[in-house]
Structure 1
């Protein structure tokens, strides 16, 4: 029986001495959920790559019952009150900071939540990211009722930070009726365009004059290339000092290729592994080279010996919102022979072969996933998968 409050139904058939009896008594008894803790195990860090961290998985035999295992990190030894997630991957961490890892199990059907426990030592993030060094943030603003007052603009990013407050000035008399001019936003830092989530307009001393804004058109530029986000229709006249924040959409990456993860060549993922191959290694490992080709990828000259060629790609791990990797077997019991880091996966083929033989299984499928955050990549291109078929054929 599961935990909960139970009703009791008593039924007795009719007989010579008694009539039929059928009655339900509500809330007769309660089975309480059992308490539990995570003991005999301490959270640790499995992998650190540049500014990304992977927590070690909580073993299934360490805790009782059901519930969801969640992980969190903190720069202090205190248990976090927010930021808990099912994923063990933590990306976009701050270079030079030290992080503690925490784990907990949420309340299940029969067990109460297992309180969070944390790592004994902090892990240093010593890597760094280059981020954007080429694309220039701009804003195009169309005015339907002019003003001589100052207008300021600021871009906001997904991590909660903002660019510098920039007074919007062009080459002439700005914000006149009918103007549709371009302005550069300063203090961008190394943020990538796909990290833009907000745009803030700030008006100074509009009292008595006002300003009518028809629309805002966020964009980034590099040389003669221009990439636009979705237009923001304002169609409003402002007559007082205020800050107005608008959501920005449309800067998400449209990812076309993901380096050797997309490759079908020797450097790509093996999609068929024959366990009868005499030259087969005990462990198969694939490491993603991090390359991404999308609308923001700029040409890079690659020198290969005496030859050179131009490649339109960048290393995702040198930028914000890098992808995470996962690997999962179609049979849950085989997952213990799979492993992954921030940018690699591995399969213990020797052990997997043995258990498949014992199970009488001739073939099994393993799915490898490369996942970019959906906030900064389109839904259609944020997730890339490959199926590895492991068999005796």
Structure 2
């Protein structure tokens, strides 16, 4: 039978973290956060094809932009992209009129934005306005994306 060695000293309960007794706690709760595993977005697919200036057409057709969902980050590999909509924590895209009077003429879905050109043109003409701006935002969840790369915004000037 093997010999058992005893080490002199106090017993330490295994039901607590080391150092917890100094703080009168039976557990330690860490409330910090880290960005070490979060995505660092470096490219956002076809977002650069959204026009910065949109000349409205009174033809009645809507301007439609569909975001392709392609992104580059540290997980995609050098020079490669992947479709963020095929994975958890996909981005959302929104469009808002800077002038609240024109909000009813813009809409958005999961990966698309739309401008009712005929309706917006008529409303702007009735108000005597020649140009207005729309704020387009592509937003990734901050729980999985660094704060610095989670939001992409651009202004689109809309003219009649």
Q: In the alignment, which residue of structure 2 is the partner of 1:273? A: 54
75, 85, 100: which is aligned to 1:317?
A: 85
Q: Distance in 1 between matches of 2:122 and 2:75?
A: 46
Q: In the alignment, which residue of structure 1 is the partner of 2:23? A: none
Q: Distance in 1 between matches of 2:155 and 2:60?
A: 19
Shift of the alpha carbon at 1:281?
A: 6.3
Structure having greater relative contact order (Cα 8 Å, sep ≥ 6): 2
135, 141, 148: which is aligned to 1:373?
A: 141
252, 255, 271: which is aligned to 2:41?
A: 255
Tell me whether 1:336 sits opposite 2:104 in the alignment.
Answer: yes
Q: What are the superposed Cα offsets for residues 313-355 of structure 1, whole Å, 9 maximum, x if unpaired?
A: 1111112211111110011110001111011000000100011
Unaligned regions of 5+ residues in structure 1, if any?
A: 1-207, 210-237, 300-310
- SS of corresponding position for 2:123: helix
Shift of the alpha carbon at 1:386?
A: 1.7
Structure with higher helix content? 2
Shift of the alpha carbon at 1:269?
A: 0.8
240, 251, 261: which is aligned to 2:14?
A: 240
Q: Distance in 2 between matches of 1:287 and 1:320?
A: 19
Q: In the alignment, which residue of structure 2 is the partner of 1:351? A: 119
Matches within 5 A, 1:1-393: 240-242=14-16, 249=34, 250-261=36-47, 263=48, 268-275=49-56, 282-298=61-77, 311-392=79-160
When the two structures are aligned, how many residues end up with a matched partner? 139
Q: Distance in 2 between matches of 1:332 and 1:248?
A: 37
Q: What are the superposed Cα offsets for residues 289-314 of structure 1, whole Å, 9 maximum, x if unpaired?
A: 00111111125xxxxxxxxxxx4111
Q: Distance in 2 between matches of 1:350 and 1:281?
A: 5
Shift of the alpha carbon at 1:239?
A: 5.9
Q: Distance in 2 between matches of 1:331 and 1:248?
A: 38
Q: TM-score, normalised by structure 1?
A: 0.33
Unaligned regions of 5+ residues in structure 2, if any?
A: 1-5, 18-27
Give the ranges of 4+ consecutive aligned residues of structure 1 lying more than 4 Å apart after TM superposition.
241-248
Q: Residue 245 and residue 316 in structure 1: after superposition, are their counterparts in 2 closer, same or farther (change >3 A)?
A: farther
- SS of corresponding position for 2:38: coil
> RMSD over aligned Cα, in angstroms?
2.4
- SS of corresponding position for 2:73: coil
